[in-house]
Structure 1
Amino acid sequence: MFNLSSGELHEKQTIHTASEIYQQPEVWHETIKMIEREQGRLRGFVKSIFAKHESVRVILTGAGTSAFAGNTLVTELNRQYQGKIKFEAIATTDIVSNPESYLFKDVPTIMVSYARSGNSPESVASVALGEQIIDEFYQVVITCNEEGQLAQNIQSDDNSITLLMPKKSNDKSLAMTSSFSSMVLASFALFSEQPLSENKVNQSIQNTSVLLDSITDRIEDILTFPFERVIYLGSGLLSELSREGALKMLELTAGRVMAMHESSLGFRHGPKSVINKKSVAVLFMSEDPYTRKYDMDILRELAADDSGMKVIALTEKSDDTVAALADWVITVNPEGEDFENDMYLALQYIAFAQTFAMKKSLHVGLSPDNPSPDGVINRVVKGVTIYPFET
C-alpha cells in the first residue's frame, strides 16, 4: 500500500492514515448502498420540510474538515435549486461565537451537522443554540459515530434524522480522510435535486481505486522537489475543496509545510505573494468549459513565473496544453464517460491531496497517524469553553 510494507506502515505510524485513505472507494460503495436502502426515509424527511414551508434555510455546518464538507457542497446545491431552497455553509465555530448573526427565530431551518466523532463541543452547542433560538428547527446529523453526542441527542426527536456513515469511515487517524469524503458523498446523494447518476458514481469509485493504486511513484517524484509551501487552487466548488486539500497538508506536516488555498481568480489579489522558489501550486481544474478558461489562465501565469516554483495540475481528461504548462499532471478519468459535474471530480481530487499530504508527512520525518504528539491539535478538539447564551 503506497509503496510501504505492512511492517513499515506500523513502524512509521501511518497504518491508520494509509488504510483510511486507501479504503475510500470501498466506503463510498457502502455509503451509496446505504442511501439507496434508506432513500425513502431520508429524502422523504427532507422533502416534507420543503413542502411544509414557503421558505427554508439549510445550514451545512461542522468544524474544521467537517465544515469543509458543507463548503464543498453548497455551491453545487445552490446551482441545482436555483434559489428555491437556500443552502448556506456556516461553521459551528462561527455559529457558537455569534449565534444571532446566523440563526433567525422566524425562519424555518434545517441544520445539517457533519461530524466524525459527534462529540466536538461546538457541534453540540450549535444544535442547542438552534433549538433555543429558532421556532421551527430541524436537524440532519451526518456522522461516523452512532455513539457520539449528536446522534444520541436526537434519538427521540421527530424533527431530526441521523444519517450514519459506514463504521470504517470513523477514522482513527488524527486527520479526517474517509470520514470527510463519505459524508460529502452521502449528503450530495441526500440533497441533490435529482438522483445521482449510478454510472458516474461507480466510475468515480473505480477511478479513485486506480488512482490510489498508481499514484505513489508520481508523488515520490514530486517529493524530490524541496518545497516548503503549498497553494491549493480551484474554481467554484473546487475552490471550496481546496480548503480541505490545504488543511490536510498543514495537519499532516504539523505546520512544517505552510499550506493555503484560494480561488483561481482570487489568487492574484494578494495571495500570490506567497510564491517563492520552494512553492508548489496544486490546481484542481474544472471540467466546466467556461470555468476552465479561468483555471487555464492561472495555469499559464504560474507556468511563466520565474521564481522556480512548481505546478501540479489535476484534470479529468488528458490535455496537451495542460501537459505543456504544468510540471506534473494527474489525470483522474482518462477513459470513462465525461462527468460533466465537478462534484464527481472532487472525490478523486481530494484522494490525491490526502495521499500527497501523508507522503510529505513521512518525508519530513513525522508519523501521519499522530503528526502532533505534543498535543497542539487533537482528534477531538480540546480546550473549548461553551458559555450560556441568553436570548
Structure 2
Amino acid sequence: MELLKSNEFERKNFGAIHTAKEIAQQPKLWKETLELLLLNRENIIQFFKEVEKKHNQFRIILTGAGTSAFVGETIHPHLKKIINNKKITVESIPTTNIVSNPNNFLDADFPTIMISFARSGNSPESLAAIHLGEQIIKDFYGIILTCNENGLLARKKKDDEKHLVIYMPKEANDQGFAMTSSFTTMLLSVMLLFHIDSIHNLEENLDDIITAGELIIRDSEKTLTELANSSFSKIVYLGSGIFEGLARESSLKFLELTGGKIPITFDTSLGFRHGPKSILDKDTIVVVFLSCHPYTRQYDLDILKEIYHENDRGKVVAISSIMDVEAENHCDLFFNANLENIKDDILLAFPYILYAQTFAMYKSINLGFSPDNPSPSGVVNRVVKGVTIHPLDNELQEGEDVQ
C-alpha cells in the first residue's frame, strides 16, 4: 500500500482520497506558488513601499488559527533574522488570542500590517481579528494569504486599497480534514513575500527542495508506513528555531488524523529536558528535526544521543538534510532529505513536514480512521464551528462579517 503514488480508487478504500492526493501534490504546488508570487511581485513591492513611505515605524502581525497560526510561528524566527532593523517589528499572534484579548495585542497608535493565513477564509476568528484591527488601530493594513478565492476574507478585502490579497494555487484549498498543501503553500508564500526583491536568487534552492520533496514521496512512504504500523502509545516531535513551530504543526497533524487517540507533545531540543521529558518511556516515539546550522545542530544531536542512550525509551527517529554518521548511529530510523546545498532551516521545513504528514496519515489508517474525515462525530470540523464572536464596545456583533 503506497497511497501517495496510487490511484483514486485505492485511496478511496482507505478513506484517503483527498489526504493522500494533497500530501503528494505539494512539490508541484511549490513551483506554482513561486510563479504566483512572481506574478504579484510588483504589487507586493508597491504595497510595502506605500506603508514605509507613510510610517517611520510599523508592526507586522502574523496570524491565523490552528495550522494557519503555525505558519506564522514557523516563519517567525526566520523573519526576525532577516528584518534586522528598528523600523519594523514582527510578531506571531494567533487570531484566537487577538479575538479573545484584543487590547492586550493590538496597539491603537502603532501602524500595523496584519498578515492573515487562511485556508478557507471563513473561520470566525480570522474575520473578527481583521475587524478588531480596523476598529482599534488607527493605521491598519492587511495582507491575506488564502487558498480560497471565494472565502469571506478574499471577497471582502480584494478591492480594499489597504489590503493585499494573494491566492495560493487552487489545489492548495485542501478538501481533506487536515491542512497539508495549504500549510506549505502559505508558508512558502510568506517566505517569498519577504524575499520579494531577490526572489530570483531563491529559484535554484526551490528547485532543490521540489526535487527533494518528490524523492521523499517516491522513496520514504514504505518506511513511514512500517513506522506507523508499529506499536507505540505516545509521540514527541522536537526541533530548534523554526523547527519548534514545525514540531507543533507535526504534532497537530498527528493528533487530528488519529482522532486524539495517541497523546502527543512537541518541544525544542533544549526545552525537552525541563519537564516534558517525563513523557518518555518504551512506548514513546521521539522524532528530532535536525537543523542545518552547525551551531544549532549540536544541541539537536545532544538530545538525540541522550534519548537514544536512555534505557526506557521507544524508537528514536532523526530527520536530517545531510548524511550524518553521528546522527545515524544514535537513532533507530534515519531520514536524509539530501539537501547538502541548503543553508537555511526555513527551506528545510518543506521537505521535513512531508515525513510528518505521511506518518500521520498512515497511523490514522492503522487505527481504523478515515484520514479524510477522522472526526465523523463532528467534535472538530474542517472549518471551525460553534464560535461566538462577542461585541467589542457594542460594535462587533455576533457572527458579523468583515466590513
Taking structure 1 as the reference length, what is the TM-score of the superposition? 0.97
SS in 1 for 2:125: helix
Unaligned residue ranges in structure 1 (runs of 5+): none
Q: Is the 8 A contact 1:80 1:193 kept in 2?
A: no
| Structure 1 residue 175 corresponds to structure 2 residue 182 | no
User: Is residue 238 of structure 1 aligned with residue 240 of structure 2?
Assistant: no
Structure 1 residues 326, 8: closer, same or farther in 2, change over 3 A?
same
1:283 is matched with 288
- Distance (whole Å) between structure 1 residues aligned to residue 310 and residue 7 of structure 2: 39
Distance 1:261 1:250 in 2: 12
Q: Within the alignment, does 1:74 sit opposite 2:79 as a pair?
A: no
| 3-state SS of paired residue (2:4) | coil
Q: Describe the shift of the 1:3–1:34 C-alpha distance in structure 2 as closer, same or farther (beyond 3 A).
A: closer
SS at match of 1:88: strand
**What is the aligned counterpart of 2:48 among 46, 49, 57?**
46
Instruction: Give percent identity, aligned residues only.
Output: 44
Query: Among 322, 325, 332, which residue is 1:320 paired with?
Result: 325
User: Is the partner of 1:195 in helix, strand or coil?
Assistant: helix
Give 2:313's aligned amino acid: G
Q: Secondary structure at the match of 1:118?
A: coil
Q: Matched residues in 2 for 1:3 and 1:60: separation? A: 35
**Number of positions where the alignment pairs a residue of Structure 1 with one of Structure 2:** 389
Match of 1:362 in 2: 365
Could you list the per-position Cα deviations for residues 143-185 of structure 1 after superposition, in whole angstroms to 9, with x for gaps in the alignment? 0001111111113311101011110000000100000100000
Do the aligned residues in 2 keep the contact of 1:43 with 1:191 (CA within 8 Å)?
no
Q: Larger deviation: 270-279 or 189-198?
A: 189-198
**Gap change, CA 1:311 and 1:50, over 3 Å in 2:** farther
Check conservation: 2:111, 2:138, Cα contact below 8 A: yes
Contact 2:59 2:110 in 1 (8 A): yes
Residue 352 (structure 1) aligned with residue 355 (structure 2): yes
**Alpha-carbon offset, residue 59 of structure 1:** 0.2
Structure 1 residue runs of 4 or more that deviate by more than 6 Å after TM superposition: none
Matched-pair contact (CA < 8 Å) for 1:108–1:137:
yes
Q: TM-score, normalised by structure 2?
A: 0.94
Task: Give a deviation string over 1:30-51, Cα, whole Å, max 9, x none.
Answer: 0101111220111321233134
Q: 1:113-132, CA deviations, whole angstroms, 9 ceiling, x for partnerless residues?
A: 00000000000000000000
Question: Which whole-Å CA distance do the structure 1 matches of 2:7 and 2:171 have between them?
Answer: 21
In structure 1, what residue type is equivalent to 2:371?
P
Deviations 1:364-384 (A, max 9, x none): 111000000011110000110
Q: What is the match of residue 118 of structure 1? A: 121
Offset of residue 218 of structure 1: 1.0
Q: Quote the residue 2:401 is aligned against.
A: none
Which secondary structure state, in structure 2, belongs to the residue aligned with residue 79 of structure 1? Answer: helix
Determine the structure 1 residue equivalent to 2:104.
101
Corresponding position of 1:228: 233
Q: In structure 2, what is the Cα distance between the partners aligned to 1:42 and 1:68?
A: 23
CA distance in 1 between partners of 2:247 and 2:164 (Å): 30
Q: CA deviation at 1:259?
A: 1.5
1:7, distance to aligned residue in structure 2 (A)? 2.6
C-alpha distance in structure 2 between counterparts of 1:82 and 1:387, whole Å? 38
In the alignment, structure 1 residue 297 sits paired with structure 2 residue 302: yes
What's the CA shift string for 1:215-260, capped at 9, x where partnerless?
1111123234311211110000111111100000000000112111
Aligned partner of residue 236 in structure 2, secondary structure = strand
Q: Secondary structure at the match of 1:256?
A: coil
8 Å contact from structure 1 (residues 80, 192) kept in 2: no
Read off the aligned partner of 1:338 and give its amino acid letter.
N
What does 1:152-301 correspond to in 2, within 5 Å?
152-192=155-195, 195-196=198-199, 197-301=202-306
Structure 2: unaligned runs, 5 residues or longer? 396-403
